[in-house]
Amino acid sequence: MKILGIETSCDETAAAVVEDGTKILSNEIASQIEIHARYGGIVPEVASRQHILAIIPILEQAMAKAKVSWHDLDGIAVTMGPGLAGSLLVGVSVAKALALAQQLPLIGVNHLEAHIYANWLSGDQPLFPLICLIVSGGHSDLVLMRNHLDYVLLGRTRDDAAGEAFDKAARILGLGYPGGPAIEKAAREGIASIKLPRAWLKGTNDFSFSGLKTALLRLAEGDKVSTVADAAASFQEAVIDVLVTKTVAIAKEHRVKQILLAGGVAANKPLRRRLRESSDIPVLVPEPILCTDNAAMVAAGGYFRFQAGKTSGLDLDVVPGLKLA
């Protein structure tokens, strides 16, 4: 079964064709990073306009690379939220028009669900029950899955998401946008020698990164940052420490079979390494290109929704604040 996936929730215009929710036939991404980097962050109206420009060429590219025509497809999956309303509208409108014109089922997919389902695209098939740590620009969520599409939210961020914290820290240290890859790169040259706070929020599974960000800002303002590389390494270490410790603890508590990592921050190599080293429970992480926003993960999530009979009507609307559970 072949599903076309469409992703336009933030600043990547992406289209992909995936077979049986697991095999990538194509995965095309038009990134807007260079454009938004000029402003130091995402400008929503600019993002929507870029999606309008890129969506048809990227769709044609995805279909051509997969060597499929419309009658080879079994459904069209599209991110319906959470994300920027104007950006989501472009993908959803195009998906609806295609579903109507080609008489194909339409499947609205939650962007966070799509991030989780990126883990079905790397060869190994995840085993339930599992804990997934979703760390993206907008979320730091700990999710228990006992079965497909069954999500129990066990913990979340109380303020900044992990990716947001990386982006803000990079801005403080003058490392540019997007912050995650910039911090990771700078940290390679540094030592995590600066003591920075960790918010453990004992007794809960929640996260908080705003205190860490403020501590870094105070250091930078007080000119106490020995080197940018050391500051980046210390910041990254503090984030990883909390993410890994809390994820491993909750995975043990729930006696899960596997731990999954998902979302843009999951591309961070030290985080991937530390989670693997710290856990007796097997850890699955998508390839870095499948961690950041892409449409293959949307097609994968869409496939499992389709299998469960959860298709959408042509009155599908975008839900910018859509929750996973």
Q: Could you list the residues that contact Zn ion (CB under 5 A)?
A: 136, 293
How far is 40 from 168, CA to CA, in rounded Å? 10
Q: How far is the CB of 264 from Zn ion (least distance, A)?
A: 6
Q: Which long-range contacts (CB under 8 A, 24 or more apart) does 90-98 make?
A: 90/8, 90/13, 90/48, 90/51, 90/52, 90/55, 91/6, 91/7, 91/8, 91/9, 91/51, 91/55, 92/316, 92/317, 92/318, 94/6, 94/55, 94/56, 94/59, 95/6, 96/314, 96/316, 98/4
Q: How far is the CB of 102 from Zn ion (least distance, A)?
A: 27
Q: How far is the CB of 307 from Zn ion (least distance, A)?
A: 23
Residue 268: which of ligand KG4, Zn ion, none does it interact with, CB under 5 to 8 A by kind? ligand KG4
- Contact between 234 and ligand KG4 per CB under 6 A: no
Residue 265: which of Zn ion, ligand KG4, none does it interact with, CB under 5 to 8 A by kind? ligand KG4
Window contacting ligand KG4 (CB under 6 A); options: 26-34, 133-141, 143-151, 302-310: 133-141
Among 119, 258, 268, 311, binds ligand KG4 (CB under 6 A): 268
Q: How far is the CB of 166 from ligand KG4 (least distance, A)?
A: 4
Pick out residues in 146-185 that bind ligand KG4 (CB under 6 A): 163-164, 166-167, 178-181, 184
Window contacting ligand KG4 (CB under 6 A); options: 65-73, 132-140, 191-199, 202-210: 132-140
Q: How far is the CB of 315 from ligand KG4 (least distance, A)?
A: 25
The residues binding ligand KG4 (CB under 6 A) are 10, 136-138, 163-164, 166-167, 178-181, 184, 263-265, 267-268, 292-293
